[in-house]
Amino acid sequence: MIEIIPAIDIIDGKCVRLTQGDYAQSTIYSSSPVEIAKQFEDQGIKRLHIVDLDGARLGKLVNTKSLHQIASQTKLIIDFGGGIKHDEDVQQVFDNGAALINIGSIAYKDPARVLGWAVQYGWDKIFLGCDVKDNKIMINGWKEQTNVNIIEYIGSFYSKGMRQLFCTDVTKDGMLQGPSIQLYKDIIAAYPSIQLTASGGATSLQDIDDLESIGCSGVIVGKAIYEGHIKIEELKKYMN
């Protein structure tokens, strides 16, 4: 059964969504992320994906207060990322109630540090994020495209024990045009035991069914929920 993971992106303590990672194209959906999280939990959701967009932009943790509020007022299993760069950042995120850290650019820039975190905390505490455009890894808030192929990149961590990751096709995120099925097929074909969570583009129950059918273990859903394309009540069939 595919796991539904709603996303809460936070700027200035508010729940927002960006279009293709563009801070100039942000929509505020709620001034209270904790209330949104409670609504998700009330509907049977178990997991939550939180991104500190201020932290991601500034390169340091900013919205840990929101994380603490959500973690202390719900029983949601939270992965949190955005601005995690240093060892003390990881500990701070865990101390504020996250079950996992989600990390992106730091894994590309400083893989040795991330491998150190895996040794210290275990890979089950790390949710590796891979942002992709034209099968190449994107970093720095989707502003810079590397020449590193996504399949090879995943392999560099897979060989060290990583088994859970989420992958975002940046051309799909926030566009409500459906997910990158072929990209996810290719990743699963290369690494059959990977626990792959699709991120970006899922707009309908059919999209979720399609992702489940190819072997994705989870799907992160954001804008489609906030704008009513997918209703939480409709997602109950995917919940245990």
Give dist(CA 221, CA 177) in Å, integer: 13
| Range 24-63 burial, b when 16+ CB lie within 10 A, else e | eebeebeeebbebbeebbeeebebbbbbbbbbbeeeebbb
**Active-site residue (options: 9, 89, 207, 210):** 9
Query: Is 210 a catalytic site residue?
Result: no
The 8-class DSSP code of residue 230 comes to S
- Bridge partners of 129, per DSSP, are 166
Q: Angle at which helices 150-158 and 111-121 pack, to 10 degrees?
A: 40
Query: Is 186 a catalytic site residue?
Result: no
**Active-site residue (options: 54, 79, 131, 173):** 131
Q: Which residues are catalytic?
A: 9, 131
